[in-house]
Structure 1
Amino acid sequence: MSRRSLSKMWPFGLWLLVFYCIWLGLVVWGDEWESIRAHWGIALAMALGSYVAGSTPMGGGTVGFPVLVLLFDMPGSLGRNFGLAVQSIGMVSAGVYILAARRPIDWGLLKPAMLGSLIGMPLGATVIAPYVPDLWVKLTFAVVWCSFGIMHLIKLRELVETEGVSDLWRDWDRWIGLAVGLTGGIVASLTGVGIDMLIYATLVLLYRADLKIAIPTSVVIMAFTSVVGIGWNVFLSRLNPSFYYMDPEVYANWLAAAPVVALGAPFGALIVNLISRTPTLLAVSMLCILQFVWTIVQEGVTGMALAASIAAVLAVNGLFHLLYQCGNDRPILEDLHLEVPTAEVPMEWADAED
């Protein structure tokens, strides 16, 4: 990296300085050293989780959620809130790095998705999440990421070879982004992740976007949604502590993992531009499928619940296939009586780093 490139990274350096000063102040002021030592396991797990968060379209909660709720047998609500809390540091850190390094971002889709998330996340956290049984929170997480893993295994070669981005649906950015943000915000209000996967899938399947565009865009939307989500959940827990309960373990786990993810996520964002994405995406896709099996076995899911979970995986993959076909076939637009763009619409990307 040249001296000129390094000089552009001062916002990232400033962010790290501010964060570590605040984190150290919290630890010293609250005498939290023993708590950090007691929660070293989640910090270790998030070393991997933060790398995954920065180098793939999956938030750190993708690792944090199953570790807490499947390995440590914690409730799904704790996994969700921890995922949002830790991503509010890790994904924000990766996002600041991405913006400072001027990685390409699809702002045309991202801006309306952020607006949708600003509506969907608080809405889901307030009126949906409290009423969803813990098992269904776990199954929702398992279904979403299993579907994502299967999609990647099927389309991996094509995804990693794609360059640039299609303008076929560019006139519909506002409505597509708003729908993705609203839907993804509600999903994230249940599981702590999901909106990053939805915007990524939309970009790579419908817009045929290069992974160099799709992954940074997914990181930024997850960072934004995580901050909105954990902020809103803390507000709700203060407003009505008995109904919108937030386990104190969320803060204890966050305190142990935050200093790890603050560096781990941007490290993943850096490394992914230096090595092939194929091995990382292949390994993570397999883990997504395995965690589905793990959830089904550990929770003893049988009968109608098992059938519904498998049907949901098939349905989500059916949606992915529809997105792919819409991105591939101009006649589909004509069949739906939609206007087909004929001229290129300039993209609002950050300048890519040389």
Structure 2
Amino acid sequence: MLWAFPPSPTPAAMPNEVIKPARVWPFLLWLAAFYTVWLVLVSTGGRWEVVKEHWPIALAMGFGSYVAGSTPMGGGTVGFPVLVLLFDFPSSLGRNFALAIQSIGMVSATIYLLSARRPLDWGVLWPALRGMIVGVPLGAAVVAPALPDLWVKLAFAVIWASFGVMHLVKMRAIVAAKSDPDLPKPYERPVGYAVGLLGGVAAAVTGVGIDMILYAVLVLLYRSDLKTAVPTSVVIMAAASLLGIVTNAALAQLMPSRYAIDPEVFANWLAAAPIVALGAPIGALVVNLLPRTPTLVIVSLLCVGQYAWTVIDQRVTGAPLVISFVAVLAIEAVFRKLYLWGGSWSAAAPS
């Protein structure tokens, strides 16, 4: 049954998840450095009023950062629709904010995960990182500026609606999967490169996406344990966010008329950054102590709901509505194919 939650291990059953203080000093050093820089930026520039004025995005990113650390979804998944649909900013601002805020939240979560020595699937992650180095600049320079504002919003909505439906359909199998991340996987290098290239373009266009694509490949194709798949997706999103915002800033310097970054990106970043620097790591910590299924169900329903919100808010009708709906179905068909391939590979693997 779809809604039958499988049992999750209790904290007592996971002694290896307890983090020793000596392991987290890089994370504590990072937090000290970040908050020092943030305080200097706010104090020396007289920007306290800016922070106060943008409290709504800080409040929204409190939830968004928890989602970023506890699920395979970047904080931009919350930041983008709040800024673009609720506050009516252009999609380019939502994208740049997503990349900028994830460069703090997802990087903070990554430093925590590495300090805590959480398992990562390096066999797929390394080639995905190399593919991303090509995909993100390609998407930022060529694809993103060529797409109309509505199509960027729809691309974001389609990606996350597909993600939500995938979880609601395959929740039990995804949560129950167990695998050793160190074991070689069929075609992991070409698959990783493809994920990095395609996901890098998606991240450059919408501010998110590469994490979902990598996560879907890990849980559907390779039947990865969520304790490996989620941290691995966090790391790839952190790297893509850093590369994306740096690329966009460089393009804005070279051709401001085509790649300009709205000043509101920095204003919203100032307000939300101190929240996400702690929120994402807290999400990564707490999720290991709680059942994953309820969190994934709630987030998946929100993903589907934001698609409906986008369609209604933007008054999407006619061909764009049909194309977006068909795109969701097409992505679901790809997910189903990945799952079937994964099943045949698992059956053929030596026991």
Distance 1:179 1:341 in 2: 23
Aligned residue for 1:329, secondary structure, equals: helix
Identity among equivalent positions (%) equals 60
Mapped pair 1:258 → 2:273: yes
Query: Quick one: structure 1 residues 276 and 227, their matched pair in 2 at CA, closer, same or farther if it must change by over 3 Å?
Result: same
Mapped pair 1:22 → 2:33: no
CA drift of 1:29 comes to 1.6
5+ long unaligned stretches in structure 2: 1-14
Aligned residue for 1:77, secondary structure, equals: helix
User: Which residue of structure 2 lines up, in the alignment, with residue 196 of structure 1?
Assistant: 211
User: Which residue of structure 1 lines up, in the alignment, with residue 340 of structure 2?
Assistant: 325
User: Which residue of structure 2 lines up, in the alignment, with residue 103 of structure 1?
Assistant: 118
CA drift of 1:162 comes to 1.2
Amino acid at match of 2:173: E
Distance 2:252 2:242 in 1: 15
Distance 1:139 1:202 in 2: 23
Query: Quick one: structure 1 residues 4 and 155, their matched pair in 2 at CA, closer, same or farther if it must change by over 3 Å?
Result: closer
User: Which residue of structure 2 lines up, in the alignment, with residue 282 of structure 1?
Assistant: 297
Amino acid at match of 2:187: W
Distance 2:23 2:276 in 1: 22
5+ long unaligned stretches in structure 1: 333-339, 345-354
Q: How many residues are paired up?
A: 336
Query: Quick one: structure 1 residues 149 and 311, their matched pair in 2 at CA, closer, same or farther if it must change by over 3 Å?
Result: same
Query: Quick one: structure 1 residues 130 and 34, their matched pair in 2 at CA, closer, same or farther if it must change by over 3 Å?
Result: same
User: Which residue of structure 1 lines up, in the alignment, with residue 24 of structure 2?
Assistant: 9
Distance 2:26 2:346 in 1: 46
Distance 1:91 1:3 in 2: 21
Contact 2:42 2:48 in 1 (8 A): yes
Write out aligned runs for 1:178-197 (5 A). Answer: 178-197=193-212
CA drift of 1:174 comes to 1.1
Distance 1:10 1:246 in 2: 35
Write out aligned runs for 1:104-143 (5 A). Answer: 104-143=119-158
**Partner residue of 2:101 out of 86, 92, 106:** 86
CA RMSD of aligned residues (A): 1.9
Distance 1:331 1:15 in 2: 40
Distance 1:199 1:155 in 2: 16
Aligned residue for 2:258, secondary structure, equals: coil
Contact 1:168 1:341 in 2 (8 A): no
Distance 2:33 2:119 in 1: 26
Query: Quick one: structure 1 residues 307 and 215, their matched pair in 2 at CA, closer, same or farther if it must change by over 3 Å?
Result: same
CA drift of 1:178 comes to 0.4
Write out aligned runs for 1:300-339 (5 A). Answer: 300-330=315-345
CA drift of 1:171 comes to 3.9
TM-score, with structure 2 as normaliser: 0.93
CA drift of 1:130 comes to 0.6
